[in-house]
Structure 1
Amino acid sequence: MARPPKDQAPDLSEAQDLTAGLIERLTCPSDRTQAFLRDTKAPGLRVRVTTAGAKSFVFEAKLNRQTIRRTIGDVRAWSIDAARNEARRLRVTLDAGTDPREVERDRQAAAVEKQAAAVAKVEADRVAALTVGEVWTAYLIERKPYWGDLHYRDHIDKAKAGGLPSGRRGGGKQLTTPGPLAALMPMALKDLDQGTIERWAASEGKTRASSARLAWRLLTVFLTWCFEQPEYASLLPAKNPAKTKKARESLGKAGTKSDVLQREQLGVWFAAVQQLQNPVISACLQMMLLTGARPGEVLALRWEDVNTQWKGVRIRDKVEGNREIPATPYMLHLLATLPRRTMKDKKGNPVANPWVFSSPTSASGCLTEPNNPHTRACTSAGLKGLTLHGLRRSFSSLTEWLEVPAGVVAQIQGHKPSATAEKHYKVRPLELLRVHHERMEAWILEQAGISFAPG
């Protein structure tokens, strides 16, 4: 039998001893979408060719009277000998009663499962390495829309690292003190167990129990939130590690404070505060006394909160969110004396400072709590021990002299209603509050010996 010409396509009806030349000359007939060239040496080995000219080794055999076919690989990637060896292996698998396709599917499934397990382990390791500070940041981002500014600021302050220049006038090179929770922030969340928190409470309770009590309450709520997040719940013990009797006892109970200005002390207090060199601090302290607002609420005032037309001031309240109080005559007088400053935005461009009680040295542009100036003023006036919150108590106590309705005082100060009638039935408009508030202000100024005639 004569050898076919080298440029002639091989006969597909006969099995052939596969060679590189035969495979190269292999073409697909025009009336088919694919064709197969059988090998004589490896049972089941075929070379498949498509109308597009793509060629690959395949294995074809019968299993349970059904034809099965499995691609081995591209002829450009597999040698003929390697393809034969693979075909023989598949034949052995088939003779053992196992479908090679099932074997391949199982292999691929195992590979996918292995890869998924590896990814899961990487993710588990990442979660296990999360620090308290990282999760705390995620917690603040999620919860911030539901909090007031003051509550959010408490979370920032209690966890701040400290060690930065204080920025206070006369502070020199003094650095800020780390917040009570700062020591816990670098720890892995999974290591924040009951013993760790109890040791932390014992340490903080010795130096700043009041601040640590607030920090402990914030931490307890934070951990409760973590239990509700599937990503973090597995890192924590079954019970909230902050809720322990030992930690609570280490921090102690908040004592009942009684620092308050008496009627006869108003004169010396006003005289000392009005002599402070910083007029912004002086006005801020006087406003704390005359409104009975929380110190943080006064410091958080923005110029947009002051309505000179309707003589009202919007207070950002930690209880109700916002409350409106009267802008009394002397209060408006104090606000009119305050400077309208500018500050730089994030890009370094000058913008209007939004804070009523502004500070040119503060990073935020807002005055920080003036504890030290107030303490100096009280010391010079012989009023030791009077705190900023004591001014709030003083406002409430002084109203007793005028027998102002308790509900009016509570509404001005932002206290929760203490009775059903107050909570559900009495709604006092701003003008009604103004009647009582202006009377209280005039009486306080009179007792302090301050001559002021409303314009």
Structure 2
Amino acid sequence: MAKIAFTAPRVANFKCPSAKQQAFLWDATAPGLGLRTTPAGQPSYVFQGLYEGKTIRITIGSPAAWTIPNAQAKARELQRQIDEGHDPRELKREAAEARKQKMAAEVAAAEQAKKDAAAAALTVAEAWRAYLEARRPYWGEAHYNDHLKLARSGGQIAKRGTRGRGVTIAMPLHALMGLPLRSLDAVTVEGWAAREAKSRPTSTRLAWRLLKVFLNWCAEQPEYVGLLPAKNPAATRKTREALGKPKAKTDVLLREQLPAWFNAVRSIGNATISAALQVMLLTGARPGEVLSLRWEDVNLQWRGLTIRDKVEGERIIPMTPYVQSLLDGLPRRNDWVFASTRAVMMDSKNKARRERRAQAKGEAVKLGEVVEGSATGYITEPRSHHACACKTAGIEGLTLHGLRRSFKSLTEWLDIPAGVVAQIMGHKPSATAEKHYTVRPLDLLRLHHERIEAWMLEQAGVPLVARPQAHKLHVVG
């Protein structure tokens, strides 16, 4: 191969004959350096050498990008690699792979830095919202509302329940919501428990139990697992000791207090609340189970009540005569038995204002429509009415849940089977035989339940009412 010294004019004027597919011009200065061109006129510097007895050719680059001295230096470098026993092609691939890996590592590092920054900024409140959204399908409404309530901020204007402040106070978990999740260690939780337990130990104990389960859930999530200690920071002895043990509640109606309690409760001006309180005592149901009772849950044919049970989902208990008379006396305002009495019957005076508000929301409102004052449609727990009635009756410290406790305690006077009382109240069976072998139909429960009701009313001096016949209409006075 003829060689010449590369100069800029020689490189620029080198052309490929049209009869050939490619042509080469070889440099006399740098061994192996050549200029390759095609009829299309796209020249490039190449290196050609002998590696392990075989000719290899490597493209260096275009003359537009490489000067002659740089191309000569590159050719000498490639020849040195061959002289050292390396294949320049393999070294080039390795270099390209190294650059690719370096770029990937830089991208990964940048992504990890972003994740670390986001994790450092992630607050307990953000993880708490994700937790509630993920677990809500598996919870009951009351349990979900407990999570919302205990993390609620204060400062909301309210006329009741603020002890004269006029605004609500922040709930126990709210103090943790603004903290970074990664800062939620054992020391932080222990300090929180010690502070909150001084003023409200009961609600803080519930908040603590919810917090422990939340942190267990976080430990199972890939995006949170690196933010928390290996051991649940809420599950420490110091936190448990700071919160103390709950004391067993003992508020209960005594047999001799029944006349005064019934007299005071039956005198409450709101017939719906009066009926709800009496049904709580006479059925032993939880306050929320009674208040959320719907008319569709009242079976007049078989005289039964379907209770939305937080343990088993629902249970059916007898509708005893006096309880049925209470329900018969209630107006049907909406789907709920104990409907909210805060209902506004629209009149011509406020029709225009409510129609404009409804149109803004895309709703239709007609004259005479009942607008519920309660967000749920049924009355909330009537603690104030019950407290006032108990004060009138001279009974101290009796809570709404105490009525459920009273039902169980008063049945002891009648020697009612414990399994019957537990089934009516919705308690889980406490023995294998009770759980797997005892099946009590509604009529058998009714036999005992009506006996319990009749005895309570007798002790209270409340006259019994004639049992209405389900297949006939009757007048409720």
TM-score range, shorter-chain basis? 0.7 to 0.9
| More divergent stretch after superposition (414-423 vs 358-367) | 358-367
Q: Any idea what the Cα deviations from partners look like across 1:236-266, whole Å, max 9, x if unmatched?
A: 1122111122211221111122111112222
Q: Does 1:450 align with 2:462?
A: yes
2:333 to 327, 334, 340: 340
Q: Deviations over 1:395-453 (max 9, x none)?
A: 10111222211101111111121122111211212222222222222322232222333
Q: How does 1:415-430 map to 2 (within 5 A)?
A: 415-430=427-442
Q: Does 1:284 align with 2:276?
A: yes
CA contact (8 A) 1:45 1:87 kept: no
1:214 equivalenced with 2:206 (yes/no): yes
Change (3 A) 1:45 1:260: farther
After TM superposition, give the deviation of residue 394 of structure 1 in Å. 0.4
TM-fit CA distance, 1:309: 3.7
- The residue aligned with 1:6 is none
Alpha-carbon separation, structure 1, partners of 2:311 and 2:38? 78
Report what 2:133 is aligned to: 141
Equivalent AA in structure 1 for residue 333 of structure 2? R
2:405 aligned partner, one-letter code: R
Q: CA deviation at 1:44?
A: 5.4
TM-score w.r.t. structure 1 length?
0.79
What is the SS of the residue equivalent to 1:282?
helix
Equivalent pair of 2:17/2:23 in contact (CA under 8 Å): no
- Give distance in 2, aligned partners of 1:161 and 1:63: 79
CA displacement at 1:374 relative to structure 2: 1.7
DSSP 3-state at the match of 1:383: coil
Given the alignment, which residue of 257, 260, 274 partners 1:268?
Answer: 260
**1:357-389 deviation digits (Å, cap 9, x = unpaired):** x99333344433222222122112211100111
Residue 285 of structure 2 is matched in structure 1 by 293
CA displacement, residues 207-239 of structure 1 (integer Å, 9 cap, x when unaligned): 111111111111112112222223222211122
Residue 16 (structure 1) shift: 9.1
- CA shift in 2, pair 1:108/1:450, >3 Å: same
Quick one: distance in 2 between partners of 1:290 and 1:268? 16
Q: Percent identity?
A: 52
Contact 2:34–2:46 under 8 Å retained in 1: yes
- The SS at the match of 1:363 is coil
CA spacing shift, 1:60–1:200, aligned 2, 3 Å: same
Could you tell me which residue of structure 2 aligns to residue 361 of structure 1?
373
The equivalent residue for 1:402 is 414
| Pairing partner for 1:94 from 51, 75, 78 | 78
Distance 1:284 1:359 in 2: 22
Distance in 1, matches of 2:137 and 2:361, equals 25
- Pairing 1:200–2:218 present: no
Q: Distance in 2 between matches of 1:314 and 1:338?
A: 19
* Residue 153 (structure 1) aligns with: 145
**Cα distance 1:450–1:27, how it changes in 2: closer, same or farther (>3 A)?**
farther
- Residue 432 of structure 1 is matched in structure 2 by 444
How many pairs are equivalent?
419
Q: Distance in 1 between matches of 2:372 and 2:163?
A: 15
> Which of the residues 120, 141, 156 maps onto 1:164?
156
Shift of 1:86: 7.4
**Structure 2: unaligned runs, 5 residues or longer:** 1-7, 82-87, 336-342, 344-357, 469-477
Residues 409 and 359 (structure 1), Cα distance of their counterparts in 2 relative to 1, 3 Å cut? farther
Check whether the contact 2:11–2:35 (CA below 8 A) recurs between aligned residues.
no
Contact 1:272 1:377 in 2 (8 A): yes
Contact 1:165 1:173 in 2 (8 A): no
Shift of 1:348: 6.2
Question: Is contact 1:44-1:61 (8 Å) kept?
Answer: yes
How far has the Cα of 1:157 moved from its partner?
1.6
1:270/1:448 contact within 8 Å kept? yes
Q: Structure 1 stretch 392-401 or stretch 289-298: which is displaced more? A: 289-298
What residue is the counterpart of 1:233 in the other structure? 225
Bigger mean CA offset, 391-400 vs 234-243: 234-243
Contact 2:60 2:74 in 1 (8 A): no
Counterpart position of 1:116: 108
- RMSD over equivalenced CA pairs, Å: 3.8
Match for 1:331: what amino acid? Answer: V
User: What CA distance in whole angstroms lies between the structure 2 residues aligned with 1:141 and 1:129?
Assistant: 20
Distance (whole Å) between structure 1 residues aligned to residue 394 and residue 467 of structure 2: 30
* Equivalent residue number for residue 348 of structure 2: none
Correspondence 1:413 to 2:432: no
Distance in 2 separating the partners of 1:154 and 1:27: 88
Using a 3 Å threshold, how does the CA distance of structure 1 residues 375 and 44 change in structure 2: closer, same or farther? farther
Deviations 1:121-157 (CA, angstroms, capped at 9, x unpaired) = 2112212322111111222222222222222222222
Instruction: Give the whole-Å Cα distance in 1 for the aligned partners of 2:254 and 2:202.
Output: 25
Which segments of 5 or more consecutive residues in structure 1 lack a partner in the other structure? 1-14, 352-357
* 1:382 correspondence with 2:375: no
* 8 Å contact kept, 2:49–2:79: no
Aligned residue in 2 for 1:326: 318
**Cα distance change on mapping 1:80 and 1:417 into 2, 3 Å:** same
CA offsets, 1:88-141, max 9 Å, x none?
675465345352232122112210111012112211221232211111122222
